[in-house]
Amino acid sequence: MRPYKEKDVTSWQIWDIDPGVQLFMPEPANKVLSVEEELEYLNGCQREEDAIYWSVVWRETDLLIGSISLTDINEHHGIADLGIVIGEKDYWGRGVATEAIKILLEFLPQLKLRRITAELEEGNDGLIKALERNSFKKECVCEASRIKNGKPINTIRYVRFI
């Protein structure tokens, strides 16, 4: 895992419009962004004061395959939200998300956090497995918490106490 680099934008341009990658992602991604717009988005992420974003790379080749983040970090309350996307589909099912979440959890003692949440759409079974393998537990169903294809859908919240 490493910070975002400018050269990452070309991968993000592909992931943003890949229907497989976007299937369980919150709208409104799924639109083509120019290199400049994508760069502005990635730079904006890196500037956020209450969030940390990492690129996930395949260790042996340094190939960019995804991203993992902690957002809405609030050290007073000790809370943060976890987000992850493995954009290179050839790398799905190889334990990447499971390991990236594990590494992120190992980094956490540097922050004053006690409760990490992850919100996901029903059916995202790969993410559920990766979370449960890192001792996240299902907390609740958040009814009609997202709009997808014009309709309200439920999300499921997972939580891990540190």
The residues of the shown chain that bind ligand COA, judged by CB under 6 A, are 21, 24-25, 84-86, 92-98, 120, 124-127, 129-130
Run of H or E residues at 35? helix 35-47
| Closer residue to ligand COA in complex, CB, 69/113 | 69
Q: Cβ 158 to ligand COA, closest distance in Å? A: 10
In the complex with ligand COA, which residue's Cβ is closer, 71 or 124? 124
CB 133 within 8 A of CB 151: no
CB nearer to ligand COA: pick between 78 and 126: 126
Residue 31 CA to its chain's centroid (Å): 18
132: helix, coil or strand? helix
The residue number whose beta carbon is nearest to ligand COA equals 126
Looking at beta carbons only, is 107 or 112 nearer to ligand COA?
A: 107
**One-letter identity of residue 134:** N
Which H or E run contains 129?
A: helix 125-132
In the complex, what is the shortest distance from the CB of residue 63 to ligand COA, in angstroms, rounded to a whole number? Answer: 14
CB of 12 to ligand COA, least distance (A): 12
Which of 127, 19, 3, 8 lies closest to 64 in space, CA to CA?
8
